[in-house]
Amino acid sequence: QAVGATPHLVGVTSFCDVPGVAVVGDFNPRPEAVMAQEPDVVLMAGYESQSSVAGSLTALGLDVKMLPLVTLADMRASTREVGAIVDRQAAASAVITAFDGALGAVVEPAKKPKVLLVYDVQPGFVITTGGGDHLSELVAACGGVNAISGPVTARIGLERVLEAAPDLILHVAPDQRFADSAAALKHWSAWASLPAVATGNVVVYPDDGLARNGPHLAAVVPRLAAFIAAAAR
């Protein structure tokens, strides 16, 4: 879609925003639904959790391409690969250029605020990222510092959050409990000693654009940079 090849699409997942195209599954596609669309190639995110489904589709005779989508370098490489598959190389290059231009336009704050990226909040724990993914890379590119170091997906106790003392608490996408920043700030107000809470820098990113790694991220960069700049003041 980002490279202008929507007419080539015959199937998408329930997470995709492409009206009029058949939905063939959610995070994992349904083999029978995929086969019904008679695709020439099947594009899948290159996550280990999807390897068995990819194997099943390959066994059915489908040409499956697993695209890496963890880091920003993965995003650039996958965009180029998709562009090559649909013969839209120039459009793919333009997408990458626009993203890199958005990064280049960021004015980093003099002070680098510590950012806690929140996937989910459980009783006594927070699910976050410890680095090595597009989220941490975007935070760094926009002048922030990931408050937590560790695995890409990390389950940490609230005591570690208190020790990290983030200047910005950023929920990477809205959910039922944290539909907006006001709801998140109300929850975190129980820990008023956190710098992010004391200054009101508790934010819920308004859609799933930050959480997803893809060529749309050029539009995410200025908004993320603004959140980080506000936390640096």
What is the 3-state composition of the chain as percent helix, strand, coil, each rounded to the nearest 5?
Answer: 40, 15, 40
What is the pLDDT, as a whole number, of residue 15?
85
Prediction pTM value: 0.92
Relative to beta strand 64-67, strand 42-45 is parallel
- Average pLDDT on 140-159 reads 95
Relative to beta strand 120-122, strand 114-118 is unpaired
3-state secondary structure of 133: coil
- Average pLDDT on 137-165 reads 95
Residue 136, CA atoms < 13 Å, CB-side half-sphere: 17
- Average pLDDT on 12-33 reads 89
- Average pLDDT on 56-70 reads 95
pLDDT above 90 (res 167): yes
pLDDT digits (tens, 9 = 90+) for 123-147: 999 999 999 999 999 999 999 999 9
Quick one: tokens of 29?
């596609």
With a CB cutoff of 8 Å and minimum separation 6, the contacts of 48 are none
Write down the residue that tokens 């068995």 correspond to. Answer: 52
pLDDT above 90 (res 224): yes
Percent of the chain with pLDDT over 90: 89
What is the pLDDT, as a whole number, of residue 28?
79
- Average pLDDT on 155-181 reads 97
pLDDT above 90 (res 22): yes
User: Where in 69-225 does DSSP place strands (E)?
Assistant: 114-118, 120-122, 125-128, 145-146, 154-157, 168-171, 202-204
Residue 24 pLDDT grade (very low, low, confident, very high; cuts 50, 70, 90): very high
Which strands make up the sheet holding 125-128, listed edge to edge? Answer: 120-122, 125-128, 154-157
Residue 1 pLDDT grade (very low, low, confident, very high; cuts 50, 70, 90): confident
**Cβ count within 10 A of residue 14:** 9
